[in-house]
Structure 1
Amino acid sequence: MLNIVLYEPEIPANTGNIGRTCVATNTRLHLIEPLGFRLDEKSLKRAGMDYWKDLNVQTYIDYNDFLERNPGAKIYMATTKAQKVYTEVEYEPDCYIMFGKESAGIPEEILVHHKDTCVRIPMMGEIRSLNLGNSVAVVLYEALRQNEFAGMNLEGHLHELNWE
């Protein structure tokens, strides 16, 4: 099972959307405090819709608590400061992919300890970054693709309609 880690997320709607994506992909969500909202906030639940109750979510009081409770975790850090593109690494089925808070990303004092596992999403020009929910979806689905979408529904079915 893959793991998405949000370092001090600030916007409840982003976290709600990410929670819904995690439920749809059977991915664990890890939230490192402080959060910019309460977990019982309406906007968080609205964005996650009725899926929030099915979410496998864990909270941590800070980054050190996260590290202590997940010893030996392989952590990829999504950052605009990375040298590698997110498609240039091989994501293990149980790895952790961390994203920083909306206003500042992951602090450099954390990134310097993970230089080899920092990844970036290519963008044009001087844009700072993509929306957090979009960034999580882009990288998570690459990790899922690399792991052959294990356990996921791979085909849909159209219903025959009589248009006459």
Structure 2
Amino acid sequence: MNASFSLFELDMGQLTRLARAEVPLELEADALPESMPPAFIARLSLRLAEQGVPAPWCCTFLIRRTRDGRFVGACGFKAALEEGRVEVGYGVAPEARGEGAATAALRALIQKAFEAGAQAVLAEVEPHNHASLAVVRKAGLRWAGCRVDESGDEVEQWLRRSAD
């Protein structure tokens, strides 16, 4: 990861509190508003862990800004490795956007994925989300097509293969 940001892995207790929409007390003072993962993401990580999905696929990470130690966002894998591919997700607090946190976090997730045996990393981005489209491009993902997601919205699929 670049020197400006690092990943902080949430433990099961912290994920349990986040799943109840509570910010863990030990993280609260260092967290920017809207930097914590939403409750449904914490519940997903807990469910994957309960199913025996190994790390890193069941992990959720906070993105920590090095210069002040503040948590500026979150990222992680959305499911277990399947047929050599894993999907990633990320989000950054509004006041920290534009600092490179999402790009740094995505690059770190890609590295973790490849080190853990993935052959491809997928990110799905809504076509109007220009900031996220810039992030996936900067992180070396390539456009791989479009699909309609579960809520009926079109999303662009961006992929990076370990051979790239």
Structure 1 or 2: larger helix share? 1
Of structures 1 and 2, the one with the larger relative CO (CA 8 A, separation 6+) is 1
Q: Indicate the structure (1 or 2) with the bigger Cα radius of gyration.
A: 1
Structure 1 or 2: larger strand share? 2
Q: Normalising by the residue count of structure 2, what TM-score does the alignment of the two structures yield?
A: 0.31
